[in-house]
Amino acid sequence: LATTYAGAGGTQAVTNSGSFQPDLVWVKNRSAAWNNNLADVLRGTGKTLFSDLTDAESTNSIYGYLSAFSASGFSVTAGSTSGNLTNQSGSNYVAWQWKANGSGSSNTSGSITSTVSANVTAGFSVVTYTGNEVKGASVGHGLGVTPNLIITKTRSLAGYDWAVYHSSLTSGY
């Protein structure tokens, strides 16, 4: 679900038209060329990954962040320097939102235990785990079928690209 809103500075509640609590929110400033911000219910509020950077996870960015999930949307905070990433006064934003299954639960289906929030009907899940550097390790995703698209990013180390898999690609791509 896509929701557009006008930045107001400070902290602002954003209500979506679907009347649901999102579990993954992707925010983009439409008025300026600022970074894309991804926040999810598993990592919690204030935690941001930038889809267009190789940075490590940011916490309570001085440029703005998602500060709360609510029953029908989320809240954004401008940050201490500028709200250009999520809530700058005079900027326009779009927030894409996905519903998984709330705060998540432990999943031991793979060789690495993960925390999963899955919407099986939609074929979508948010997963967090700690890697073990073992080649061939597997991570449970809670969907019950092989996913067609997987997007991963290390949260703790800067300089690492996003890894993307799609079922139409052959091995090694």
Per-residue model confidence as pLDDT tens digits over 46-86: 999 999 999 999 999 999 999 999 999 999 999 888 889 99
Task: Write down the pLDDT at residue 146.
Answer: 93
Name residues of the chain where pLDDT drops below 70: none
Look at residue 172 in the predicted model and tell me its pLDDT: 75
Cβ atoms of residues 28 and 93 within 8 Å: yes
- Work out the burial of residue 56: count CB atoms within 10 Å of its CB; fewer than 13 is exposed, 13-18 middle, 19 or more buried: middle
Q: Which amino acid is at 111?
A: S
pTM of the model: 0.94
